Chain A
Amino acid sequence: MKPAQFEYLNPSSIDEAVSLLNQYADDDAKVLAGGQSLVPLMNFRLARPKWLIDINGIEALDYIREEGDWLAVGAITRERAMEKSQLVADKCPLLKEVTRWIGHTTIRNRGTVGGCIAHNDPTAEYPLAATLLGAEVKAQGPNGVRSIPIQDFLVTYLTTALEPNEILTEVRFPVMAQNVGWAFQEFARRHGDFAIVEVGAMLTMDNGTVKDARIAIGGAGPVAFRATDAEEVLKGQQITDELLEEASEKAGGMTEPDSDVHASAEYRTHLAKVLTRRALKEAHSRAH
Chain B
Amino acid sequence: MKLDGSYSFDAPRQLVWDTLQDPEALKKCIPGVETFEQTGPDEYAAKMKIGVASIKGAYSAKIKAFDKQEPSHYKLGIDANGTPGFVRGEGTFDLVEDGPSKTTINWSADAQVGGLVAGVGQRMLGGVAKMTVGQLWKAIEGQIKEKQGAA
Residues of A that sit less than 8 Å from B by CB: 30, 38, 41, 44-47, 49, 122-123, 156-159, 194, 222, 258-262
Chain A residues within 8 Å of B128, by CB: 157
Chain B binding site: helix, strand, loop or mixed by DSSP? helix
Known: A156-B131, A222-B131. Contact between A46 and B55, CB under 8 A?
yes
* Contact (Cβ within 8 A) B54 A30: yes
Known: A46-B55, A159-B53, A222-B131. Contact between A260 and B125, CB under 8 A?
yes
* Contact (Cβ within 8 A) B126 A259: yes
Contact of B124 with A by CB under 8 A: yes
CA gap between A258 and B57 in the complex, in Å: 22
Shortest distance from the beta carbon of A49 to any chain B beta carbon, whole Å: 7
Closest residue of chain B to A31, judged by CB?
B54
**Of residues 32 to 57 in B, which have CB atoms within 8 Å of A's CB atoms?**
51-55, 57
* Contact (Cβ within 8 A) B83 A47: no
Chain B residues within 8 Å of A159, by CB: 52-53
Q: 16 A-B pairs, CB-CB below 8 angstroms?
A: A38-B54, A44-B120, A46-B57, A46-B116, A46-B121, A156-B52, A157-B52, A158-B54, A158-B124, A159-B52, A222-B127, A222-B131, A258-B127, A260-B122, A261-B122, A262-B123
* Contact (Cβ within 8 A) B126 A260: yes
| Of the residues A41, A123, A156, A261, contact of B54 by C-beta under 8 Å | A41
Per-position 1/0 for B123-138, Cβ under 8 A of A: 1111110010000000
Closest residue of chain A to B129, judged by CB?
A258
Chain A residues within 8 Å of B126, by CB: 258-260
CA gap between A47 and B124 in the complex, in Å: 15
Shortest distance from the beta carbon of B110 to any chain A beta carbon, whole Å: 14
* Contact (Cβ within 8 A) A157 B131: yes
* Contact (Cβ within 8 A) A157 B127: yes
* Contact (Cβ within 8 A) B122 A158: no
Contact of B144 with A by CB under 8 A: no
* Contact (Cβ within 8 A) A46 B127: no
Chain A residues within 8 Å of B127, by CB: 122, 157, 222, 258
CA gap between A30 and B131 in the complex, in Å: 23
CA gap between A260 and B57 in the complex, in Å: 21
Chain A residues within 8 Å of B116, by CB: 44-46
Per-position 1/0 for B104-118, Cβ under 8 A of A: 000000000000110
CA gap between A158 and B56 in the complex, in Å: 12
Chain B residues within 8 Å of A222, by CB: 127, 131
* Contact (Cβ within 8 A) A123 B120: no
Closest residue of chain B to A156, judged by CB?
B131
* Contact (Cβ within 8 A) B54 A47: yes
Shortest distance from the beta carbon of B102 to any chain A beta carbon, whole Å: 25
CA gap between A38 and B51 in the complex, in Å: 15
Known: A156-B131, A157-B131, A222-B131. Contact between A47 and B55, CB under 8 A?
yes
